[in-house]
Amino acid sequence: MAINFENGLGIHQYSLGIRAQRAEVLSSNIANSNTPGYKARDVDFASAMNSARSHQQGLQMSQTTDKHFDLKALSQEHVKFRVPNQPDTGDGNTVDSQQEQAAFMQNSLEYQMSLGFLESKFTGMRKAIRGD
């Protein structure tokens, strides 16, 4: 019997990729907190996960092999500009450093949690293969 990773890992593989992408976007915001005119961005996690769920059912991408993943769920289409919580400081920058750092830390914890879920899935599959 063949192991189907798509069914075995579920949505967790996509969650991990989306959280990694969000970490990149948030770190870019933090790095540009003093850049005039820079607009803070964030990943719309809910829409990215919904997209991943819909792609998980059937891969619609043009493929050279049936083993390829559909990476549209991890594309930049879910990165949006954030509505600023603070008034404009005059330079057009919408980054709130404290908010970005808090979001980055929360995302880091959620990333670690997603890694834990994937680890438990792999542990379960390994036990099933060995017959433990």
How many Cβ atoms are within 10 Å of 27's Cβ, its own excluded? 13
Q: Average per-residue pLDDT in the chain?
A: 81
Query: Counting Cβ atoms within 10 Å, is residue 87 exposed (0-12), middle (13-18) or buried (19+)?
Result: exposed
Tokens of 66: 């049936």
Which residues have C-beta within 8 Å of that of residue 14, sequence separation ≥ 6? 48, 49, 52, 55, 56, 73, 74
CA distance 57 to 41: 29
Give pLDDT, residue 20. Answer: 93
Rounded to two decimals, the pTM is: 0.74
Radius of gyration of the chain, Cα coordinates, nearest whole angstrom: 18
pLDDT (tens digit per residue) in 69-115:
555 544 567 888 888 887 777 898 999 999 999 999 999 999 999 99
Give pLDDT, residue 27. Answer: 96
pLDDT (tens digit per residue) in 21-73:
999 999 999 999 999 999 999 998 888 888 777 765 554 545 566 555 555 54
Give pLDDT, residue 10. Answer: 73
